[in-house]
Chain A
């Protein structure tokens, strides 16, 4: 009888053998398995046409991905942010007792990484904020910038110690307040645009055209997208930071008990 472990290994090797055989077959083909052509992109053509055109009705956002995320399906992104918020609230509700206690102390790293971090963390913070603010005209956005900024807090916790970061740099209450401000900001902009659309009754859906009071070099700047991205940065960065710190403290508690 074949034992359980060897059966497992046989299954894995059969799967890998299928892959090897199919790679040999593929290398003899001269066609793509998934055809990467530009035929029949009706929806994508619509998004490209109406994302940026100063002489026509458009979202006035040169970065098409940001236009899709915040305008063409803006309500979807708002719900997505709420889902992310809720999942962090659930994890915090389970580990709430750890937040109030003083966390464990750990040894800090040596002088060299701390000195390097003082320079590089400022640069990382700048890159994250610029990615969020400039998200409307270049690849990037609030989520990407927020992930970078939260990684910065995580790096601080590794370099110094978790208790140092918690006692001097950031506070759980501050982070939770920041997240709530971010989510409320996104919701209030969306509510404003929806209400404005219902009052004005245009053909278009809620768009940034109601929030354009800045014109630079002849092209209007979508204020709504910039605000969305900044609030998203606040939500994502503080949410990730809370989560890193909770998991570090909880993991330390579990390993020491």
Chain B
């Protein structure tokens, strides 16, 4: 049994477990703040998964050229370096996810100020109640 293969597989599995638990929290938890936390966990797990797919098992090196220019090392980078493209993608994903989280958390704070609760069931019941009041008045 190759120990490196086992460890990498278990690492992948732990990321997937993380995503499963976060999806569970996102669907079943009624608290809006906990939903946002679960969404952040999903985002970060997917980022780690992407970086994992760029990893190389045989002699990995960081994707940085040597200074001064060394042609043999630059040729070696083609074979040995980890994937720089997914790292650039993940950088973008982190920034966009962060912007999204900022927006959602500010919205949740505003909802709490207006209605006094972040529980989604209570919020829905408030809305249903108001609709019923409107129907009765008509």
Besides A52-B65, A87-B103, 14 other A-B contacts (C-beta < 8 A): A15-B24, A23-B10, A29-B5, A37-B57, A41-B83, A47-B85, A48-B81, A54-B69, A87-B100, A94-B106, A95-B106, A137-B64, A218-B68, A219-B67
Binds B, one of A72-80, A152-160, A170-178: A72-80
Q: Is there a chain A Cβ closer than 8 Å to B120's Cβ? A: no
Interface contact A64-B109, CB-CB below 8 Å:
no
Find A48's partner among B84, B87, B100 (CB 8 Å cutoff): B84
Specify which chain A residues have a CB less than 8 angstroms from the CB of B113 in the assembled complex: 254
User: Is A188 in contact with chain B by the CB < 8 A criterion?
Assistant: no
Number of interface residues of B (CB under 8 A): 56
Whether A38 touches B56, Cβ cut-off 8 Å, given contacts A48-B74, A52-B65, A62-B67, is yes
Chain A CB within 10 Å, residue with most, of B13, B74, B98? B98
Question: Is the Cβ of B1 less than 8 Å from the Cβ of A30?
Answer: yes
Contact A65 B112 (CB under 8 A): no
Chain B residues closer than 8 Å to A95, beta-carbon distance: 106
Q: Interface stretch among A179-187, A189-197, A243-251?
A: A243-251
Structural contact, A94 and B110, CB atoms closer than 8 A: yes
Q: Which residues of B contact A (CB under 8 A)?
A: 1-2, 5-6, 8-10, 12-13, 16-17, 20-21, 24, 28, 52-53, 55-58, 62-69, 74, 77-81, 83-85, 87-88, 91-92, 94-96, 98-100, 102-103, 105-106, 109-110, 112-113
Using C-beta atoms within 8 Å of the partner chain, give the interface range for chain A: 35 or more
- Report the bound CA distance from A11 to B21 in whole Å: 11
Which one of A22, A45, A250 contacts B78 once the chains associate, using CB atoms below 8 Å?
A45
Given A36-B55, A62-B65, A143-B95, are A19 and B12 neighbors across the interface (CB < 8 Å)?
A: no
Question: A28-80: which residues lie under 8 A (CB-CB) from chain B?
Answer: 29-34, 36-38, 41, 43-45, 47-49, 51-55, 62-65, 68-69, 73, 76-77, 80
- Answer yes or no: A88 CB below 8 A from chain B CBs: yes
Chain A nearest CB from B135 CB (Å) reads: 28
- Tell me which of A34, A69, A87, A219 contacts B68 (CB under 8 A): A219
Q: Which residues of A contact B68 (CB under 8 A)?
A: 217-219
Q: Report yes or no: B112 in contact with A254, Cβ–Cβ below 8 A.
A: yes
Alpha-carbon separation in the docked complex, A94 to B78 (Å): 49
Interface of B is mostly: helix
Q: Which residue of B lies closest to A4 (CB)?
A: B28
Q: Please tell me if the beta carbons of A26 and B10 are within 8 angstroms of each other in the complex.
A: yes
Is A163 on the interface with B (CB-CB < 8 A)? no
Q: Bound complex: CA of A81 vs CA of B66, how far in Å? A: 29
Instruction: Provide the residues of chain A in CB contact with B17, threshold 8 Å.
Output: 16, 19
Q: B85, A43: Cβ atoms under 8 Å?
A: yes
Interchain residue pairs A-B with the least CB separation, the first 4: A87-B99, A62-B65, A52-B65, A68-B88
* Distance of A73 Cα from B64 Cα, bound (Å): 18
A83 within 8 A of B: yes
How many angstroms from the CA of A239 to the CA of B24 in the assembled complex? 32
Chain A contacts for B112, CB-based, 8 A: 254
Distance in angstroms between the alpha carbons of A70 and B100 in the assembled complex: 22
Cross-chain contact B106 with A91 (CB below 8 angstroms): yes
Cβ contacts under 8 Å, B102 to chain A: 87-88, 91, 243
B96 touches A62 (CB 8 A): no
Question: CB-CB < 8 A to B66: which residues of A?
Answer: 62
Instruction: Chain A residues near B9: list those with CB within 8 A.
Output: 26-27, 29, 32-33
C-alpha gap A45/B58 in the complex (Å): 17
